[in-house]
Amino acid sequence: MLSPTMENALNQQMALEGYASFLYLSMASWCDREGLRGCAAFLYRQSEEERSHMLRIFNYINEVDGHALVPAISQPPHEFESVRSLFEQVYTHEKKVTASIHELITLSYKDNDHTTLNFLQWYVNEQREEEALMRNILDRIKLIGEGPMSLYYIDKELEKINKSQIAAEASEEEKA
Ligand code: FEO
């Protein structure tokens, strides 16, 4: 049974994951418009992933007899200064999500809520992987540089990263 504080905090976390999904969708749209197909494909997939993170919490809350509330999601920005600044914003948002997951963990210790503590471990691992991935992308963008010629190579890199993410997910699903 969730404490009211935990139920509310998990519902808040859903809003954060939902916002990430909308933010990355908006970023994908901007990339599409800029002709950056590799970046767009990567972000469309990330957006879907965030939606699945939101639904995982949604299902958990109801499974443990709470009430999952569909969150109101604010409109994300539509314009971005550059590809580098866009991915810096992704990384910043991921760090915010990580901090929020860690707060939920602290709360589950306070509540002596082992079930939620166990449920949250998946998110701890996921956030470690997502932060590492975004740092890796930012490192590559810095190495390639950001002139008009560089955008083509950045986009190719993102296309490669996206394909390897899809392959890794497929192999995980096979194992499951
Ligand atoms: Fe679900 Fe990337 O935070």
Q: How far does the centroid of ligand 1 lie from the alpha carbon of residue 112, in Å?
A: 25
Nearest to 48 by CA among 92, 79, 17: 17
Each residue of 46-83: pLDDT tens digit?
A: 999 999 999 999 999 999 999 999 999 999 999 999 99
Is residue 126 within 8 A of residue 100, CB to CB? The reply is: no
Q: Residue holding tokens 């749209």? A: 29
pLDDT confidence of residue 118: 98
High-pLDDT (> 90) share of the chain, %: 92
Q: Which long-range contacts (CB under 8 A, 24 or more apart) does 112-119 make?
A: 113/2, 113/3, 113/6, 115/64, 116/2, 116/6, 116/10, 116/60, 116/64, 119/60
Is 131 a residue whose pLDDT tops 80? yes
Q: How confident is residue 176, by pLDDT bands cut at 50, 70 and 90?
A: confident
Q: Return the ligand 1 atom nearest residue 97 CA.
A: 3
Query: What is the pLDDT averaged over residues 144-163?
Result: 92
Residue with CA at minimum distance from ligand 1 atom 2: 94
Is 102 a residue whose pLDDT tops 80? yes
Total domain count, the chain: 1
Is 87 a residue whose pLDDT tops 90? yes
pLDDT confidence of residue 173: 83
Q: Is the CB of 50 under 6 A from ligand 1?
A: yes
State the residue range of the domain holding 154.
Answer: 4-175
Q: How far does the centroid of ligand 1 lie from the alpha carbon of residue 127, in Å?
A: 6
DSSP annotation of 111: T
Q: Return the ligand 1 atom nearest residue 46 CA.
A: 2
Q: What angle do CA 89, 95, 98 make, to 5 degrees?
A: 145
Looking up residue 87, the CATH number of its domain turns out to be 1.20.1260.10
